[in-house]
Chain A
Amino acid sequence: MTGDPNAFHIALALVLNLDAALFDIVGLSLRVSLTAVTLAALIGLPMGAALVLWAFPGRGGVIVLLNALMGLPPVVAGLGVYLLLSRAGPLGQFGLLFTPSAMVVAQMLLILPIIAALTRQQVEELHGEYRDQLQSLGVSRLRMMPTLLWDARFGLITVLLAGFGRASAEVGAVMIVGGNIEGVTRVMTTAIVLETSKGNLPLALGLGLVLLGLVTLINAGAYLVGEFARRRLG
Protein backbone atom coordinates (compact mmCIF):
# COMPACT_ATOMS: atom_id res chain seq x y z
CA MET A 1 0.00 0.00 0.00
CA THR A 2 2.91 2.36 0.54
CA GLY A 3 3.23 2.88 -3.19
CA ASP A 4 -0.39 3.99 -3.47
CA PRO A 5 -0.34 7.03 -5.75
CA ASN A 6 -3.63 8.19 -4.22
CA ALA A 7 -1.84 9.21 -1.05
CA PHE A 8 0.21 11.83 -2.89
CA HIS A 9 -2.89 13.20 -4.61
CA ILE A 10 -4.72 13.33 -1.30
CA ALA A 11 -1.79 15.01 0.45
CA LEU A 12 -1.56 17.58 -2.32
CA ALA A 13 -5.31 18.19 -2.37
CA LEU A 14 -5.37 18.60 1.43
CA VAL A 15 -2.72 21.29 1.25
CA LEU A 16 -3.92 23.05 -1.91
CA ASN A 17 -7.54 23.19 -0.76
CA LEU A 18 -6.44 24.88 2.47
CA ASP A 19 -8.57 22.33 4.29
CA ALA A 20 -9.65 24.15 7.48
CA ALA A 21 -9.77 21.05 9.68
CA LEU A 22 -6.31 20.06 8.47
CA PHE A 23 -4.90 23.47 9.33
CA ASP A 24 -6.34 23.29 12.84
CA ILE A 25 -4.73 19.89 13.30
CA VAL A 26 -1.38 20.99 11.87
CA GLY A 27 -1.47 24.17 13.96
CA LEU A 28 -2.11 22.23 17.14
CA SER A 29 0.63 19.71 16.31
CA LEU A 30 3.12 22.54 15.86
CA ARG A 31 2.03 24.44 18.94
CA VAL A 32 2.19 21.42 21.19
CA SER A 33 5.50 20.06 19.90
CA LEU A 34 7.28 23.42 19.68
CA THR A 35 6.16 24.35 23.18
CA ALA A 36 7.37 21.00 24.46
CA VAL A 37 10.74 21.52 22.76
CA THR A 38 11.05 25.05 24.15
CA LEU A 39 10.31 23.99 27.72
CA ALA A 40 12.51 20.91 27.45
CA ALA A 41 15.33 23.11 26.08
CA LEU A 42 15.02 25.61 28.93
CA ILE A 43 15.60 22.76 31.36
CA GLY A 44 17.66 20.33 29.29
CA LEU A 45 20.36 22.68 27.93
CA PRO A 46 21.54 23.94 31.34
CA MET A 47 21.10 20.44 32.75
CA GLY A 48 23.32 18.89 30.08
CA ALA A 49 25.99 21.59 30.54
CA ALA A 50 25.86 21.27 34.33
CA LEU A 51 26.53 17.54 34.05
CA VAL A 52 29.80 18.41 32.32
CA LEU A 53 30.86 21.26 34.60
CA TRP A 54 30.08 19.90 38.04
CA ALA A 55 31.40 16.62 39.33
CA PHE A 56 29.23 15.12 42.05
CA PRO A 57 28.76 11.64 43.45
CA GLY A 58 26.36 9.68 41.28
CA ARG A 59 26.97 11.75 38.15
CA GLY A 60 27.72 8.61 36.17
CA GLY A 61 24.40 7.17 37.30
CA VAL A 62 22.51 10.29 36.23
CA ILE A 63 24.17 10.16 32.80
CA VAL A 64 23.32 6.48 32.33
CA LEU A 65 19.74 7.16 33.44
CA LEU A 66 19.36 10.06 30.99
CA ASN A 67 20.75 7.94 28.17
CA ALA A 68 18.38 5.12 29.05
CA LEU A 69 15.38 7.48 29.21
CA MET A 70 16.06 8.50 25.61
CA GLY A 71 14.42 5.17 24.86
CA LEU A 72 11.38 5.76 27.10
CA PRO A 73 8.39 4.32 25.24
CA PRO A 74 5.93 7.17 24.51
CA VAL A 75 2.98 5.13 25.70
CA VAL A 76 4.65 4.71 29.10
CA ALA A 77 5.27 8.45 29.35
CA GLY A 78 1.64 8.97 28.38
CA LEU A 79 0.39 6.56 31.00
CA GLY A 80 2.52 8.22 33.68
CA VAL A 81 1.23 11.68 32.80
CA TYR A 82 -2.31 10.32 32.61
CA LEU A 83 -2.07 8.93 36.15
CA LEU A 84 -0.65 12.26 37.36
CA LEU A 85 -3.29 14.44 35.71
CA SER A 86 -6.30 12.17 36.12
CA ARG A 87 -8.88 13.49 38.55
CA ALA A 88 -7.97 10.66 40.89
CA GLY A 89 -4.26 11.53 40.55
CA PRO A 90 -2.08 13.97 42.52
CA LEU A 91 -2.49 16.87 40.04
CA GLY A 92 -6.10 16.07 39.21
CA GLN A 93 -7.64 19.26 40.55
CA PHE A 94 -6.16 21.33 37.73
CA GLY A 95 -8.37 19.58 35.19
CA LEU A 96 -5.59 19.36 32.60
CA LEU A 97 -6.37 15.89 31.28
CA PHE A 98 -7.58 15.85 27.66
CA THR A 99 -6.18 19.35 27.00
CA PRO A 100 -3.22 20.38 24.83
CA SER A 101 -1.34 21.31 28.04
CA ALA A 102 -1.36 17.66 29.06
CA MET A 103 0.07 16.77 25.65
CA VAL A 104 2.85 19.34 26.10
CA VAL A 105 3.76 17.83 29.48
CA ALA A 106 3.90 14.29 28.06
CA GLN A 107 6.02 15.28 25.07
CA MET A 108 8.32 17.35 27.26
CA LEU A 109 8.91 14.33 29.47
CA LEU A 110 9.80 12.32 26.37
CA ILE A 111 12.30 14.74 24.89
CA LEU A 112 13.92 16.18 28.01
CA PRO A 113 16.28 13.17 28.32
CA ILE A 114 17.22 13.47 24.65
CA ILE A 115 18.02 17.16 24.89
CA ALA A 116 19.88 16.87 28.19
CA ALA A 117 21.90 13.79 27.19
CA LEU A 118 22.88 15.07 23.74
CA THR A 119 23.66 18.55 25.10
CA ARG A 120 25.97 16.97 27.65
CA GLN A 121 27.80 15.19 24.85
CA GLN A 122 28.15 18.33 22.70
CA VAL A 123 29.30 20.47 25.61
CA GLU A 124 31.73 17.85 26.88
CA GLU A 125 33.71 17.95 23.63
CA LEU A 126 33.98 21.74 23.75
CA HIS A 127 34.79 21.71 27.43
CA GLY A 128 37.82 19.52 26.74
CA GLU A 129 39.16 22.20 24.41
CA TYR A 130 38.26 25.23 26.53
CA ARG A 131 38.81 24.10 30.06
CA ASP A 132 42.42 25.21 30.54
CA GLN A 133 41.84 28.54 28.88
CA LEU A 134 38.69 29.30 30.88
CA GLN A 135 40.25 28.22 34.12
CA SER A 136 43.37 30.34 33.55
CA LEU A 137 41.06 33.32 33.03
CA GLY A 138 39.47 32.54 36.37
CA VAL A 139 35.98 32.09 34.92
CA SER A 140 33.55 30.47 37.33
CA ARG A 141 31.65 27.35 36.28
CA LEU A 142 28.36 29.23 36.32
CA ARG A 143 29.82 31.72 33.85
CA MET A 144 31.32 28.96 31.74
CA MET A 145 27.91 27.39 31.15
CA PRO A 146 26.43 30.05 28.82
CA THR A 147 29.76 30.41 27.00
CA LEU A 148 29.97 26.71 26.31
CA LEU A 149 26.31 26.48 25.27
CA TRP A 150 26.72 29.44 22.96
CA ASP A 151 29.82 28.07 21.31
CA ALA A 152 28.12 24.67 20.89
CA ARG A 153 25.08 26.35 19.34
CA PHE A 154 25.31 24.80 15.87
CA GLY A 155 25.45 21.29 17.29
CA LEU A 156 22.68 22.16 19.73
CA ILE A 157 20.34 23.13 16.90
CA THR A 158 20.57 19.53 15.73
CA VAL A 159 19.89 18.39 19.28
CA LEU A 160 16.73 20.52 19.44
CA LEU A 161 15.64 19.22 16.03
CA ALA A 162 16.07 15.66 17.27
CA GLY A 163 13.83 16.55 20.20
CA PHE A 164 11.28 18.18 17.92
CA GLY A 165 11.32 15.16 15.62
CA ARG A 166 10.57 12.80 18.47
CA ALA A 167 7.83 15.08 19.85
CA SER A 168 6.02 15.63 16.57
CA ALA A 169 6.26 11.98 15.52
CA GLU A 170 5.06 10.24 18.65
CA VAL A 171 1.48 9.11 19.01
CA GLY A 172 1.30 6.85 22.06
CA ALA A 173 1.55 9.58 24.68
CA VAL A 174 -0.69 12.23 23.12
CA MET A 175 -3.35 9.62 22.36
CA ILE A 176 -3.65 8.74 26.06
CA VAL A 177 -3.39 12.18 27.65
CA GLY A 178 -5.07 14.14 24.84
CA GLY A 179 -7.83 11.70 23.95
CA ASN A 180 -7.78 12.58 20.21
CA ILE A 181 -10.80 14.88 20.66
CA GLU A 182 -11.85 16.40 17.36
CA GLY A 183 -11.11 20.12 17.27
CA VAL A 184 -9.57 20.11 20.76
CA THR A 185 -6.71 17.64 21.05
CA ARG A 186 -6.51 15.97 17.65
CA VAL A 187 -3.01 16.28 16.18
CA MET A 188 -1.44 14.90 13.01
CA THR A 189 -0.34 11.57 14.45
CA THR A 190 -3.60 10.79 16.24
CA ALA A 191 -5.55 11.77 13.12
CA ILE A 192 -3.43 9.29 11.16
CA VAL A 193 -4.22 6.55 13.68
CA LEU A 194 -7.92 7.36 13.46
CA GLU A 195 -8.02 7.27 9.65
CA THR A 196 -6.05 4.01 9.66
CA SER A 197 -8.55 2.48 12.03
CA LYS A 198 -11.37 3.55 9.71
CA GLY A 199 -9.60 1.69 6.93
CA ASN A 200 -9.09 4.96 5.06
CA LEU A 201 -5.48 4.14 4.28
CA PRO A 202 -4.90 6.63 1.44
CA LEU A 203 -6.07 9.56 3.61
CA ALA A 204 -3.97 8.27 6.53
CA LEU A 205 -0.91 8.09 4.29
CA GLY A 206 -1.73 11.50 2.81
CA LEU A 207 -1.78 13.01 6.30
CA GLY A 208 1.53 11.26 6.95
CA LEU A 209 3.02 12.91 3.90
CA VAL A 210 1.79 16.32 5.03
CA LEU A 211 3.42 15.75 8.43
CA LEU A 212 6.66 14.64 6.78
CA GLY A 213 6.64 17.72 4.53
CA LEU A 214 6.10 19.97 7.51
CA VAL A 215 8.94 18.47 9.51
CA THR A 216 11.16 18.79 6.44
CA LEU A 217 10.28 22.47 6.12
CA ILE A 218 11.15 23.12 9.75
CA ASN A 219 14.45 21.26 9.38
CA ALA A 220 15.25 23.19 6.21
CA GLY A 221 14.50 26.44 8.05
CA ALA A 222 16.77 25.50 10.92
CA TYR A 223 19.49 24.48 8.47
CA LEU A 224 19.30 27.79 6.63
CA VAL A 225 19.36 29.80 9.86
CA GLY A 226 22.38 27.78 10.95
CA GLU A 227 24.21 28.29 7.67
CA PHE A 228 23.43 32.00 7.64
CA ALA A 229 24.63 32.43 11.21
CA ARG A 230 27.75 30.38 10.51
CA ARG A 231 28.67 32.65 7.61
CA ARG A 232 27.83 35.87 9.41
CA LEU A 233 29.39 35.04 12.74
CA GLY A 234 31.98 32.57 11.55
Chain B
Amino acid sequence: MHARVRPFAPLPALCLLSLALPPLAAADDSITLASTTSTENSGLFGELLPAFKAATGIQVNVVAVGTGQAFELARRGDADSLLVHDTAGEEAFVAEGYGTERADVMTNDFVIIGPGTDPARIRDAGTVADALSRIAEAEAPFASRGDDSGTHRAEQRLWESAGVMPGGEWYRELGSGMGPTLNTAAAMDAYTLADRATWVAFENPQNLELLFEGDEALFNQYGSILISAERHPHLQHDLAEQWHAWLISEAGQQAIADYTVNGQQLFFPNAAE
Protein backbone atom coordinates (compact mmCIF):
# COMPACT_ATOMS: atom_id res chain seq x y z
CA MET B 1 0.00 0.00 0.00
CA HIS B 2 2.08 2.83 -1.26
CA ALA B 3 -0.62 5.41 -1.49
CA ARG B 4 -2.53 7.16 1.25
CA VAL B 5 -5.91 8.72 0.88
CA ARG B 6 -5.93 11.32 -1.90
CA PRO B 7 -9.50 11.75 -2.98
CA PHE B 8 -9.02 13.92 -6.05
CA ALA B 9 -5.73 12.59 -7.32
CA PRO B 10 -7.18 10.16 -9.87
CA LEU B 11 -8.46 13.05 -11.99
CA PRO B 12 -5.94 13.43 -14.75
CA ALA B 13 -4.59 16.89 -15.29
CA LEU B 14 -6.10 17.08 -18.74
CA CYS B 15 -9.57 17.33 -17.29
CA LEU B 16 -8.66 20.21 -15.03
CA LEU B 17 -7.71 22.34 -18.02
CA SER B 18 -11.31 22.96 -18.79
CA LEU B 19 -12.89 23.63 -15.42
CA ALA B 20 -13.25 27.36 -15.85
CA LEU B 21 -15.93 27.89 -18.42
CA PRO B 22 -16.60 31.52 -19.26
CA PRO B 23 -20.23 32.62 -19.06
CA LEU B 24 -22.02 30.70 -21.71
CA ALA B 25 -25.39 32.35 -22.07
CA ALA B 26 -25.85 34.21 -25.32
CA ALA B 27 -25.07 37.94 -25.28
CA ASP B 28 -27.95 40.25 -24.42
CA ASP B 29 -28.21 41.81 -27.85
CA SER B 30 -28.71 38.61 -29.76
CA ILE B 31 -31.70 36.67 -31.02
CA THR B 32 -32.19 33.06 -32.02
CA LEU B 33 -33.59 32.68 -35.52
CA ALA B 34 -35.08 29.33 -36.51
CA SER B 35 -34.65 28.97 -40.24
CA THR B 36 -34.22 26.39 -42.94
CA THR B 37 -31.21 24.49 -44.15
CA SER B 38 -31.70 25.99 -47.63
CA THR B 39 -30.97 29.53 -46.45
CA GLU B 40 -28.02 28.37 -44.32
CA ASN B 41 -26.45 26.02 -46.89
CA SER B 42 -26.74 28.55 -49.70
CA GLY B 43 -24.60 31.04 -47.73
CA LEU B 44 -27.25 33.79 -47.72
CA PHE B 45 -26.94 34.40 -43.99
CA GLY B 46 -23.24 35.06 -44.45
CA GLU B 47 -24.33 38.14 -46.42
CA LEU B 48 -27.38 39.24 -44.42
CA LEU B 49 -26.29 38.85 -40.81
CA PRO B 50 -23.15 41.04 -40.89
CA ALA B 51 -25.11 43.75 -42.71
CA PHE B 52 -27.87 43.61 -40.10
CA LYS B 53 -25.40 43.62 -37.25
CA ALA B 54 -23.62 46.64 -38.69
CA ALA B 55 -26.94 48.48 -38.93
CA THR B 56 -28.34 47.59 -35.50
CA GLY B 57 -25.67 45.93 -33.36
CA ILE B 58 -27.90 42.88 -32.98
CA GLN B 59 -26.41 39.44 -33.45
CA VAL B 60 -28.61 36.81 -35.04
CA ASN B 61 -27.91 33.20 -34.04
CA VAL B 62 -29.24 30.92 -36.74
CA VAL B 63 -30.49 27.44 -35.94
CA ALA B 64 -30.94 25.84 -39.36
CA VAL B 65 -33.41 22.95 -39.34
CA GLY B 66 -36.24 21.64 -41.52
CA THR B 67 -39.35 23.84 -41.66
CA GLY B 68 -41.35 21.32 -39.61
CA GLN B 69 -38.77 21.40 -36.83
CA ALA B 70 -38.47 25.20 -37.07
CA PHE B 71 -42.21 25.56 -36.38
CA GLU B 72 -41.89 23.16 -33.45
CA LEU B 73 -38.98 25.14 -31.97
CA ALA B 74 -40.99 28.35 -32.22
CA ARG B 75 -44.14 26.76 -30.77
CA ARG B 76 -42.17 25.71 -27.70
CA GLY B 77 -40.71 29.18 -27.30
CA ASP B 78 -37.14 28.25 -28.22
CA ALA B 79 -36.70 30.74 -31.06
CA ASP B 80 -37.18 34.52 -31.15
CA SER B 81 -38.02 34.67 -34.83
CA LEU B 82 -38.82 32.45 -37.82
CA LEU B 83 -37.75 32.62 -41.46
CA VAL B 84 -39.17 29.65 -43.36
CA HIS B 85 -40.77 28.67 -46.66
CA ASP B 86 -44.13 27.01 -46.24
CA THR B 87 -46.80 29.67 -46.69
CA ALA B 88 -49.70 27.38 -45.74
CA GLY B 89 -47.89 26.22 -42.58
CA GLU B 90 -46.91 29.81 -41.74
CA GLU B 91 -50.50 31.01 -41.99
CA ALA B 92 -51.64 28.14 -39.80
CA PHE B 93 -48.93 29.06 -37.27
CA VAL B 94 -50.27 32.62 -37.09
CA ALA B 95 -53.90 31.44 -37.01
CA GLU B 96 -53.10 29.17 -34.04
CA GLY B 97 -51.95 32.27 -32.18
CA TYR B 98 -48.24 31.41 -32.02
CA GLY B 99 -47.34 34.13 -34.50
CA THR B 100 -48.57 37.71 -34.58
CA GLU B 101 -47.40 38.84 -37.98
CA ARG B 102 -46.20 37.20 -41.17
CA ALA B 103 -44.54 39.02 -44.08
CA ASP B 104 -43.33 37.92 -47.50
CA VAL B 105 -39.56 38.40 -47.65
CA MET B 106 -38.17 36.82 -50.79
CA THR B 107 -38.56 34.00 -53.25
CA ASN B 108 -36.42 31.50 -54.98
CA ASP B 109 -37.56 28.50 -56.93
CA PHE B 110 -37.42 24.73 -56.89
CA VAL B 111 -35.75 22.83 -59.67
CA ILE B 112 -35.70 19.15 -60.59
CA ILE B 113 -32.24 17.65 -60.45
CA GLY B 114 -31.40 14.29 -61.95
CA PRO B 115 -28.73 12.21 -63.64
CA GLY B 116 -27.39 13.74 -66.86
CA THR B 117 -28.55 10.69 -68.79
CA ASP B 118 -32.15 11.66 -67.89
CA PRO B 119 -33.71 8.15 -68.13
CA ALA B 120 -37.26 9.54 -67.68
CA ARG B 121 -36.66 12.20 -70.37
CA ILE B 122 -37.99 15.14 -68.35
CA ARG B 123 -35.79 17.74 -70.04
CA ASP B 124 -38.45 18.52 -72.64
CA ALA B 125 -41.43 18.18 -70.28
CA GLY B 126 -43.91 21.05 -70.60
CA THR B 127 -44.88 21.40 -66.95
CA VAL B 128 -43.59 20.16 -63.63
CA ALA B 129 -46.66 17.88 -63.40
CA ASP B 130 -45.66 16.38 -66.74
CA ALA B 131 -42.06 15.93 -65.58
CA LEU B 132 -43.10 14.14 -62.37
CA SER B 133 -45.55 11.91 -64.26
CA ARG B 134 -42.73 10.85 -66.58
CA ILE B 135 -40.50 9.98 -63.61
CA ALA B 136 -43.30 7.91 -62.06
CA GLU B 137 -44.07 6.17 -65.36
CA ALA B 138 -40.43 5.31 -65.98
CA GLU B 139 -40.14 4.30 -62.30
CA ALA B 140 -36.82 6.12 -62.30
CA PRO B 141 -35.29 6.45 -58.81
CA PHE B 142 -36.53 9.57 -57.03
CA ALA B 143 -34.96 10.73 -53.76
CA SER B 144 -37.49 12.50 -51.55
CA ARG B 145 -36.47 14.60 -48.56
CA GLY B 146 -39.07 12.78 -46.46
CA ASP B 147 -38.41 15.07 -43.48
CA ASP B 148 -41.49 17.32 -43.33
CA SER B 149 -39.38 20.27 -44.46
CA GLY B 150 -40.72 23.09 -46.63
CA THR B 151 -39.17 21.43 -49.68
CA HIS B 152 -40.71 18.07 -48.77
CA ARG B 153 -44.12 19.67 -48.30
CA ALA B 154 -43.76 21.42 -51.68
CA GLU B 155 -42.78 18.12 -53.30
CA GLN B 156 -45.88 16.41 -51.90
CA ARG B 157 -48.10 19.19 -53.25
CA LEU B 158 -46.47 18.83 -56.68
CA TRP B 159 -47.06 15.05 -56.81
CA GLU B 160 -50.66 15.67 -55.82
CA SER B 161 -51.17 18.19 -58.60
CA ALA B 162 -49.57 15.73 -61.04
CA GLY B 163 -52.16 13.16 -59.93
CA VAL B 164 -49.49 10.69 -58.87
CA MET B 165 -49.31 8.84 -55.57
CA PRO B 166 -45.58 8.21 -55.40
CA GLY B 167 -44.58 4.91 -53.86
CA GLY B 168 -42.79 1.72 -54.60
CA GLU B 169 -39.22 0.68 -55.08
CA TRP B 170 -38.23 3.75 -57.12
CA TYR B 171 -39.52 6.34 -54.59
CA ARG B 172 -37.06 6.65 -51.74
CA GLU B 173 -37.86 8.73 -48.68
CA LEU B 174 -34.55 9.68 -47.14
CA GLY B 175 -35.55 11.70 -44.09
CA SER B 176 -32.60 14.04 -44.45
CA GLY B 177 -31.77 17.65 -45.24
CA MET B 178 -31.33 19.13 -48.71
CA GLY B 179 -27.56 18.70 -48.90
CA PRO B 180 -27.51 15.08 -47.70
CA THR B 181 -30.38 14.33 -50.09
CA LEU B 182 -28.35 15.72 -53.01
CA ASN B 183 -25.33 13.66 -51.89
CA THR B 184 -27.52 10.54 -51.83
CA ALA B 185 -29.20 11.34 -55.16
CA ALA B 186 -25.76 11.77 -56.71
CA ALA B 187 -24.69 8.39 -55.39
CA MET B 188 -27.81 6.53 -56.55
CA ASP B 189 -28.39 8.43 -59.82
CA ALA B 190 -31.80 9.54 -58.61
CA TYR B 191 -34.00 12.50 -59.44
CA THR B 192 -34.81 14.91 -56.66
CA LEU B 193 -36.53 18.22 -56.03
CA ALA B 194 -34.15 20.88 -54.71
CA ASP B 195 -34.31 24.57 -53.99
CA ARG B 196 -32.17 26.42 -56.49
CA ALA B 197 -30.04 28.10 -53.83
CA THR B 198 -28.81 24.86 -52.29
CA TRP B 199 -28.29 23.35 -55.74
CA VAL B 200 -26.16 26.23 -57.04
CA ALA B 201 -24.04 26.30 -53.90
CA PHE B 202 -23.72 22.48 -53.82
CA GLU B 203 -20.21 21.24 -54.51
CA ASN B 204 -20.61 17.49 -55.01
CA PRO B 205 -22.93 17.13 -58.05
CA GLN B 206 -21.09 14.20 -59.69
CA ASN B 207 -23.45 13.19 -62.57
CA LEU B 208 -26.35 15.32 -61.41
CA GLU B 209 -27.64 18.11 -63.62
CA LEU B 210 -30.44 20.63 -63.48
CA LEU B 211 -33.06 19.02 -65.73
CA PHE B 212 -36.27 20.97 -65.23
CA GLU B 213 -37.00 24.53 -64.13
CA GLY B 214 -39.21 27.52 -64.77
CA ASP B 215 -42.77 26.29 -64.10
CA GLU B 216 -44.69 28.78 -61.95
CA ALA B 217 -45.72 25.92 -59.67
CA LEU B 218 -42.07 25.71 -58.59
CA PHE B 219 -42.14 29.18 -57.06
CA ASN B 220 -40.86 29.11 -53.44
CA GLN B 221 -41.95 31.90 -51.08
CA TYR B 222 -40.03 32.70 -47.90
CA GLY B 223 -41.80 34.41 -45.02
CA SER B 224 -40.71 36.01 -41.75
CA ILE B 225 -42.90 35.56 -38.70
CA LEU B 226 -43.04 37.49 -35.44
CA ILE B 227 -43.74 35.27 -32.48
CA SER B 228 -46.51 36.03 -30.02
CA ALA B 229 -45.38 37.96 -26.94
CA GLU B 230 -48.46 36.75 -25.12
CA ARG B 231 -47.57 33.09 -25.48
CA HIS B 232 -43.85 33.51 -24.97
CA PRO B 233 -43.17 36.68 -22.96
CA HIS B 234 -39.54 35.66 -22.26
CA LEU B 235 -38.42 36.08 -25.90
CA GLN B 236 -36.45 39.04 -27.28
CA HIS B 237 -39.45 40.55 -29.00
CA ASP B 238 -38.01 44.06 -29.46
CA LEU B 239 -34.90 42.73 -31.15
CA ALA B 240 -36.85 40.23 -33.23
CA GLU B 241 -39.11 43.04 -34.42
CA GLN B 242 -36.08 45.02 -35.56
CA TRP B 243 -34.84 41.99 -37.52
CA HIS B 244 -38.26 41.42 -39.08
CA ALA B 245 -38.56 45.10 -40.02
CA TRP B 246 -35.02 45.19 -41.43
CA LEU B 247 -35.62 42.12 -43.64
CA ILE B 248 -38.52 43.82 -45.40
CA SER B 249 -36.92 47.28 -45.39
CA GLU B 250 -35.13 48.69 -48.42
CA ALA B 251 -31.73 47.90 -46.91
CA GLY B 252 -32.62 44.29 -46.12
CA GLN B 253 -34.22 43.71 -49.49
CA GLN B 254 -31.17 45.15 -51.23
CA ALA B 255 -28.84 42.88 -49.24
CA ILE B 256 -30.90 39.86 -50.34
CA ALA B 257 -30.73 40.95 -53.99
CA ASP B 258 -26.98 41.53 -53.72
CA TYR B 259 -26.20 37.95 -52.71
CA THR B 260 -24.84 35.91 -55.59
CA VAL B 261 -23.05 32.60 -56.01
CA ASN B 262 -20.95 32.23 -59.18
CA GLY B 263 -22.51 35.45 -60.45
CA GLN B 264 -26.02 34.03 -60.10
CA GLN B 265 -28.63 35.77 -57.95
CA LEU B 266 -30.30 33.13 -55.76
CA PHE B 267 -32.99 34.97 -53.82
CA PHE B 268 -35.39 37.59 -55.15
CA PRO B 269 -36.71 40.08 -52.59
CA ASN B 270 -40.48 40.56 -52.80
CA ALA B 271 -41.65 42.19 -49.59
CA ALA B 272 -44.87 44.17 -49.97
CA GLU B 273 -44.25 47.89 -50.26
A interface, CB within 8 angstroms of B: 30-31, 34-35, 37-38, 41-42, 45, 86-89, 92-93, 95-101, 104, 133, 143, 146-147, 149-153, 156-157, 160, 179-182, 184, 194, 196-201, 218, 221-222, 225, 233-234
Contacts and interface: CB of A to CB of B under 8 A. Distances in A.
B204 A200 contact: yes
B121 to A, nearest CB: 26
Contact of B26 (A37, A42, A99): A99
Q: For chain B, what secondary structure do more than half of its interface residues adopt (helix, strand, loop), or is it mixed?
A: loop
Nearest to A184: B61
Nearest to A85: B78
B7 interface: yes
B77 A198 contact: no
B223 to A, nearest CB: 21
Contacts of A151: 3
Nearest to A163: B15
A34 B18 CA distance: 6
Q: For chain A, what secondary structure do more than half of its interface residues adopt (helix, strand, loop), or is it mixed?
A: helix
A59 to B, nearest CB: 22
Contact of A87 (B12, B40, B61, B78): B78
Interface string B195-229: 00000011111000000000000000000000000
Most B CB contacts (10 A, CB to CB) among A101, A156, A199, A225 go to A199
Q: Which 7 A-B pairs have the closest CB atoms?
A: A197-B179, A199-B204, A34-B18, A87-B77, A179-B63, A88-B76, A199-B203
22 contacts: A34-B14, A38-B11, A38-B16, A42-B11, A45-B11, A87-B234, A95-B25, A98-B32, A98-B61, A98-B63, A146-B9, A147-B3, A153-B9, A157-B12, A179-B32, A181-B63, A194-B41, A196-B179, A197-B183, A200-B203, A200-B204, A222-B14
